[in-house]
Amino acid sequence: MMRCFVSVGLSEKARQSLAGFQKEAYERLSLFAKLKQVEEQNLHLTLAFIGELSEPEAEKAKKALGSIKLEKFPIIISRLGFFGSTHSPRVIYLSVPSKELSELSAAVAGALKTAKLAIKTRAVKPHLTLFRIKQAFNPGALIKEIKALSELPLNLEQEVGSFELMSSKLTQSGPVYQKIASFILL
């Protein structure tokens, strides 16, 4: 069994820019919370969490995702946000407001449902995780600082020309991601 998700990889330029932003954000946010930073090589744009798949199920997922025929499109990675409540935030992420990205995410969910993998698929807002919050010392101040950082003009552009089926192996030093298959957009 392997833990799987679907994502969009980042260009080297985007990774480097995000690493700089992530460093600045860490310095400001770590005053209010114990954070686990996503390593630069692991930064990606999450489209869907699938869950545990056997080898045959992963093959079904590959076939289903390979049936998606959409055109490539540009995105702008822009605003900082958080998942969880204001009293207990869990994840700090960057959002990517894009109609085309939402369409790709919906196509991924539809393809997985057609492959009868929908039971293990949970809906997800496309996002780029920067930090996992291990403990918030001052949740109110943390949320206020996230909102302040969200006003910074990041506006990082990238073209989405493909997406990937990935596996994630959890280790004591953090997750290790491996590309199972890549799917090119038209």
pLDDT tens, position by position, for the chain (186 residues)?
999 999 999 999 999 999 999 999 999 999 999 999 999 999 999 999 898 999 999 999 999 999 999 999 999 998 899 999 999 999 999 999 999 999 999 999 999 999 988 655 556 789 999 999 999 999 999 999 999 999 988 879 999 999 999 999 988 888 899 999 999 999
Q: Which of 22, 57, 109, 127 is catalytic?
A: 127
CB within 8 Å of 57: residues ≥ 6 apart: 117
Distances (CA, A) of 26 to 36, 119, 132, 156: 9, 36, 11, 18
Whether the pTM exceeds 0.75: the reply is yes
pLDDT at residue 178 in the model: 96
Per the annotation, the verdict on 87 as an active-site residue is: no
Catalytic one among 25, 44, 58, 105?
Answer: 44
pLDDT digits (tens, 9 = 90+) for 139-169: 999 999 999 999 988 879 999 999 999 999 9
Residue the block writes with tokens 């600045």: 24
The rounded distance, in Å, linking the Cα atoms of 102 and 9 is 16
All domains in the chain, ordered by first residue: 2-184 (3.90.1140.10)
Q: What whole-number distance in Å separates Cα of residue 135 and Cα of residue 181? A: 35
